[in-house]
Amino acid sequence: MAVKLFTIPNMLTLCNLLCGAGAAVSALVWGDLQTAFLLVVASAVFDFFDGLSARLLNQYSAIGVQLDSLADMVSFGFAPAAVMMSLFSETSSWLEWSDTMLKVGYFVPLMMTAFSALRLAKFNIDDTQHTEFEGLPTPANALFCMSLGLLSELGLVMVPREVIMVLSVVMSVLLVCRVRMFSLKFEGFGWAANKLRYAFLLLAVAVIAVDYRFAVTTIMVLYVLISVVRHLAKCNKNGR
């Protein structure tokens, strides 16, 4: 069976992967978290357009599905962990840390890579995640971590090692939790089917207008909080 490797969607997916790999190198080798942030944003853009181009050009393929997950593992699984590891090595602590504790703590963010793999594998076989997600989407987790690294590099926030470890565990759990999180994929342009999406986009615009520097981090936090509240409300309504 002939397999077309170099289709437009696949090339866009490879651009996603290369940007993600560059982001990890920027964080761990160069300690440049601003470049890492920009590269993961570029990865997210390529990730959006590879699916869009596949639909427009009718170039869906089994290899494209597998390639997309492999690229996402690098860009949205390993790159955010690399940024958190870089942050951990450069920031201060509230407590006294032994050399052994520092070595162990340095690798805690890699939990996010492992849990991202579980998240992506589950997504590939779960037919219920076309209009909403179960667990935090890996791009959302990546953007949160990358924005935190950017804010730290710009001197706008100080994230102690203890907070980095806790966040790494919390984000890992969110990736594989059973909470249903809404998708921003619009079902047409009507208000009834998309009111939550429209409301969230308006909220995001307001956040950007207030202070664009903290916008990505704040928007990701709001996304999780709104999704959790929505999930709990649905569970309560259904008597579960």
Residue 149 CA, distance from chain mean position: 13
Report the alpha-carbon distance of residue 219 to residue 198 in Å, rounded. Answer: 14
Chunked into runs of 10 residues, the chain (240 residues) has average pLDDT values of 76 95 96 96 92 79 85 96 94 85 91 96 83 90 96 93 95 94 76 82 95 95 94 78
Beta carbons within 10 angstroms of residue 67's beta carbon? 19
User: Are the C-beta atoms of residues 104 and 140 closer than 8 Å to each other?
Assistant: no
- Residue 51: what residue type? G
Place of tokens 């599905």: 65
Q: Are 37 and 94 in contact (CB under 8 A)?
A: no
CB-based contact 157:92 (threshold 8 Å): no
The whole model's pTM is what? 0.91
Residue ranges and CATH numbers for the domains of the chain are 8-129+138-177 (1.20.120.1760), 179-240 (no CATH)
Sequence-distant (6+) residues with CB within 8 A of 21 are: 74, 75, 79
**Cα 136 → chain centroid:** 8
* pLDDT on residue 95: 81
State residue 1's pLDDT score. Answer: 54
Number of Cβ within a 10 Å radius of residue 226 = 16
Q: What is the pLDDT of residue 40?
A: 97
